Amino acid sequence: MKTIEVVAALIAFGGGFLACQRPAHKARGLLWEFPGGKVEPGETKAEAIIRECREELGLELSVHGEYADVTHAYPDLTVHLTLMNCSAAGGEMRLYEHADARVVTVREALLMPFCPADQVFLREIERRNSEERTNMDHVMKAGELFVSGCNCAQAVVCAFAEEIGLPEETLMKLASSFGGGMGGMRETCGAVTGMFMVAGLLWGYEKPGDDEVKKAHYARIRSLAESFKEKNDTLVCRELLASLPGKLKSDPSPRTAEYYKVRPCVRFVEHAAGLLEQLLNEG
């Protein structure tokens, strides 16, 4: 069976990418895919993906190179499919060919019925994303998580998800009660309680009667607390935020540009993550 050259577009939008649903009347009808199509004679792959997305979606693309490729045998044809790394450069999206289109994260896409060849790309995107998350400095990761909307405890805990070995969703729930100084009560800073949770999950004791291990772990927690206080003067949320104008609220504030401009919380989150990373590096 002849192999057909096909291109597809990985078009980034925010934290996701564009996925399109094939029309019902075509082969693999209503399955999802990366938009694209056949490479015509005389075309480069970049020229082909630009043409296909213009014709099918009304989008103009900038092409930044090849992301991955796969050869897959369908019952009716064999395709050599190349996923091109792209970004939208203009146009207004319209569905001239597809039944539907939406921006999805890779985790959402992995739960959707994608064409088999495209599923290979989804797994590769997930693998690379996981590698990037692992390689990212914990301090930077904690700061980014906070800026993305996580509370201070979640940001610290989830920055160490790989080392802890629990799903990020589980850690998000575990730490969700401790933002705003414990449920908005402005008591112990969530970055600090998050730091203590990570320390417990990584180095805590399991046997209640093991007094020596318990003693050593409590000493570790006190050391982390003293290091945090040495730089920030206090562990208490309301005291850390005392310089903010107005009365602190119990309910979470909207994460607006103004919020991030005046709130020092990302600094506390990054400091807590840095103290934990220092312990990791010390073995």
What is the pLDDT of the chain when averaged over all its residues?
92
- Domain closes at, from 131, 161, 188: 131
Say what percent of the chain tops pLDDT 90: 78
pLDDT on residue 276: 95
What is the arithmetic mean of pLDDT over 191-206? 96
Using the Cα atoms of residue 102, residue 105, residue 110 and residue 111 in order, give the sign of their dihedral.
Answer: negative
- Domain closes at, from 131, 162, 190: 131
Task: Specify whether 85 is located in the same domain as 180.
Answer: no
User: pLDDT tens across 89-103, in order?
Assistant: 999 999 999 999 999
Domain count, the chain: 2
Virtual torsion, Cα 243, 247, 250, 256, nearest 10 deg: -70
Task: Specify whether 194 is located in the same domain as 92.
Answer: no
Task: Specify whether 111 is located in the same domain as 222.
Answer: no
- Asked whether the predicted pLDDT for residue 15 surpasses 90, the reply is no
Report the CATH number at residue 7.
3.90.79.10
Task: Specify whether 88 is located in the same domain as 149.
Answer: no
Report the C-alpha gap between 31 and 180 in whole angstroms.
44
Task: Specify whether 141 is located in the same domain as 258.
Answer: yes
Taking Cα atoms as reference points, which of 198, 203, 227, 225 lies closest to residue 214?
203
Q: Of 280 and 32, which is predicted with more confidence? A: 32
DSSP string for residues in 177-238: GGHHHHTTS--B-HHHHHHHHHHHHHH----TT-HHHHHHHHHHHHHHHHHHHHHHS-SBHH
Tokens of 4: 């057909």
- Asked whether the predicted pLDDT for residue 106 surpasses 60, the reply is yes
Task: Specify whether 142 is located in the same domain as 193.
Answer: yes
pLDDT on residue 136: 65
Q: Of 109 and 249, which is predicted with more confidence? A: 109
- Domain closes at, from 104, 131, 158: 131
Task: Specify whether 123 is located in the same domain as 182.
Answer: no
Place 1 in a pLDDT band, splitting at 50, 70 and 90. low
User: pLDDT tens across 208-266, in order?
Assistant: 888 899 999 999 999 999 999 999 999 999 999 998 888 888 888 888 888 877 889 99
* Amino acid sitting at position 124: E
- Asked whether the predicted pLDDT for residue 77 surpasses 70, the reply is yes
pTM for this predicted structure: 0.54
Helix residue spans in 58-115 (DSSP H): 106-110
Place 107 in a pLDDT band, splitting at 50, 70 and 90. confident
Task: Specify whether 149 is located in the same domain as 268.
Answer: yes
Task: Specify whether 127 is located in the same domain as 213.
Answer: no
Task: Specify whether 122 is located in the same domain as 11.
Answer: yes
pLDDT on residue 133: 64
Task: Specify whether 248 is located in the same domain as 264.
Answer: yes
Place 135 in a pLDDT band, splitting at 50, 70 and 90. low
Using the Cα atoms of residue 124, residue 127, residue 132 and residue 135 in order, give the sign of their dihedral.
Answer: negative
pLDDT on residue 209: 84
Residue 98: domain span: 3-131
Task: Specify whether 17 is located in the same domain as 96.
Answer: yes
Say what percent of the chain tops pLDDT 70: 98
CA 194 distance to own-chain centroid: 19
Residue 46 Rama label (left phi>0; alpha psi -120 to 50; beta): alpha
